[in-house]
A = this chain, B = another copy of it.
Amino acid sequence: MTADEQQVPSVWARLDRGRREQQSLSQEQIVAAAVRLLDTEGLEALSMRNLGKRLNAGATSLYRHVASKDELLELVADEIYGELDVPPPPTEPGQWREATVAFAHSVRAMILRHPWIASVLGAAGMSYLGPNLMRITDQMLGVYEAAGFSLGEGNAVMSTVLAYVTGVTISEAAWVTMLARRGQTDQDWFERLWPIAQEAMKPYPRLSRLYAAGVDHDPQRTRDEGFDYGLGKVLDGFAATRA
């Protein structure tokens, strides 16, 4: 690199460096690039030097727009919260339930699109003050308000459902990143490690019986159905007091 710079007349180097297309480096660009890097290569590939390389920038240049890696992760988390679809406020009170189901599916899909978020959540929590998260929370409260819930009741429904969804989906996300890191699929794993798992389960008769049955189904569908089933029960609990 330094050899090139001295070999070429320095004017070119200056022109090339000084004003890249667009404004060279901005916080939004950095965050967007970080999300792309995380999606394609996973959490452990996100280093400041790696990220700088993607932006044709030096590692330390990023610190002009982002205070630290931790702060970058908070920004990144809120960035992907912006992908969530908030259903429109219902016109009839009974529609709170399908709106909640739609929102829950949106959250699950978002986490599975960005499974690394599972590892970030434990450190950053929900970054409660992120603008996207605030906007979405407020809009969802509006949904429940339109359905006739009080603010506290609406918040209870939303929080409970969100806890359930993240709880389920973090496990799923951890599973898919584990598979991705080994370059395996669900089927690969079952074929290769199932005998070992079955052997390990031998001292536990109920576990053995439970998983002996469900091995032939495809696991993706099983996860989807399990998610919807549990979600339905949670909503049943709130629907009961509503009626």
Contacts and interface: CB of A to CB of B under 8 A. Distances in A.
A180 interface: no
A165 B170 CA distance: 12
User: Chain A interface mostly helix, strand, loop or mixed?
Assistant: helix
A138 B205 contact: yes
A226 interface: yes
Contacts of A102: none
Interface in A193-225: 197, 200-201, 203-207, 209-210
A166 B165 CA distance: 10
Nearest to A233: B237
A118 interface: yes
Contacts of A142: 206
B234 A160 contact: yes
Contact of A210 (B141, B165, B237): B141
A84 to B, nearest CB: 15
Q: Which of A135, A171, A178 has the most CB of B within 10 A?
A: A171
A151 interface: yes
12 contacts: A119-B122, A122-B122, A142-B206, A155-B210, A159-B226, A160-B233, A165-B167, A232-B237, A233-B241, A234-B237, A235-B237, A237-B240
Given A121-B122, A166-B167, 15 more contacts: A120-B122, A122-B170, A122-B174, A125-B170, A134-B200, A138-B205, A156-B233, A163-B167, A163-B171, A164-B167, A167-B168, A233-B234, A234-B237, A236-B237, A236-B240
